Amino acid sequence: MREGARPALTEGAAADVGRRVRELRERQGVSLSELARRARVGKATLSGLEAGTRNPTLETLQSVAAALDLPLTHLLSAHTSLRGAAVRIEVLRVFDDGPVTYELCHMRIPAGLSQRSPAHQAGVTEHATVFAGVLQAGPVDAPLRAGPGEHVEWAADVPHTYAALGADDVLASLLIRYPVSST
């Protein structure tokens, strides 16, 4: 696991996610090697994830979901909490609305911490409304800032970042919008 990377799930949830990843991969007719290549994760990492013997990072889960062209929540059980290097999210609700899927999450970032996230699949956008703290988020090369009561949105199909600036934790809602794949 990379320095600073943290397991995203509880042990029981990791096993459930592993079974789900294998099921979705096989349903799409994708080999383990091919999914590892697409997701840019090691084959051993992916094999361990599917076997339930490895607890992935949030970044790994995001990469696998993008490689399968699916929203992250398709890999998870309802009301799952996830931890990244800095970001902690709790999935509150998933809305499937015809050609679009939305994931509504509660997000917390401890003061002074930051995290880089991999690109989602094409067309994905993220929308954050800040309730406390100062959030810096968005594309790595052009992050946006928002304070309490403010909203930012960005194309999330490029590597993006999240950070809590200043002395206060960031508390925000995060809405992730996924266009449904035509594949």
Q: What is the mean pLDDT of residues 161-180?
A: 96
Q: What span, in angstroms and rounded, lies between the C-alpha atoms of 158 and 143? A: 12
Instruction: Measure the CA–CA gap between 153 and 42, rounded to whole angstroms.
Output: 31
| Residue with more model confidence, 62 or 174 | 174
d(CA 97, CA 77): 19
* Average pLDDT, integer, range 93-116: 93
When pLDDT is averaged across residues 98-104 and rounded to a whole number, the result is: 92
What is the distance, to the nearest Å, from the Cα of residue 100 to the centroid of all Cα atoms in its chain? 17
The interaxial angle of helices 58-67 and 32-39, nearest 10 deg, is 110
Q: Is the pLDDT of residue 169 over 90?
A: yes
User: Which residues on adjacent β-strands are paired with residue 145?
Assistant: 136
Tokens 């076997």 — which residue? 51
Helices (H) and strands (E) counted in the chain, each on its own, are: 4, 10
Give pLDDT, residue 4.
47
Confidence of residue 82 (pLDDT cuts 50, 70, 90): confident
pLDDT for position 76: 84
Report CA 182 to chain centroid distance, whole Å.
21
- AA identity, residue 56: P
Q: Give the model confidence (pLDDT) of 49-79 as tens digits.
A: 999 888 888 888 989 999 999 988 888 866 6
Specify the pLDDT at position 2: 39
What number is the average pLDDT over the span 99-117?
95
Q: How confident is the model at residue 101 (pLDDT cuts 50, 70, 90)?
A: very high
Q: Which residues contact 182 (CB under 8 A, 6 or more apart)?
A: none
Averaged pLDDT for residues 85-96? 90
Q: What domains does the chain contain, in order, with CATH numbers?
A: 11-75 (1.10.260.40), 86-179 (2.60.120.10)
Distance CA 61, CA 50 (A): 11
Chain segment 7-29, per-residue pLDDT in tens = 777 667 888 889 999 999 999 99
Q: Which helix (H) or strand (E) holds 138?
A: strand 134-139
Please give the residue that has the higher pLDDT: either 75 or 169: 169
Report pLDDT for 55. 85
